[in-house]
Amino acid sequence: MNITLLRQTWNLIETTNASELLEIGETELVQRLLNRLDAQKPLADQERLTLVNYLHSKVGLIKDTAESRLVSA
């Protein structure tokens, strides 16, 4: 995954409503993020596959980040 896509992904995570990220399950979370990223810039098949695997591996971190945003708000 290139650095631009990685930054775009984490920017999207940081700007998505924290409650939304916490309320949905892993599969739906990954799908929503993928759809939003794809809407910003269409993803190539290989990028999509890499991103799916990456997001699944980072769901815990994504939810921890969202939770910390709620606590500090």
pLDDT tens by residue, 5-61: 999 999 999 999 999 999 999 999 999 999 999 999 999 999 999 999 999 999 999
Q: Measured between alpha carbons, how far is residue 58 from residues 9, 53, 73 in Å? A: 11, 9, 23
Query: How far apart (Å, rounded) are the C-alpha atoms in residues 41 and 61?
Result: 24
pLDDT class of 73 with cuts at 50, 70, 90: low
Tell me the whole-structure pTM to 2 decimals. Answer: 0.92
Structural domain count of the chain: 1
Query: What is the pLDDT at residue 1?
Result: 86
Query: How far apart (Å, rounded) are the C-alpha atoms in residues 49 and 39?
Result: 16
Query: What is the pLDDT at residue 2?
Result: 92
- Which structural domain, as residue segments, surrounds residue 21? 3-72
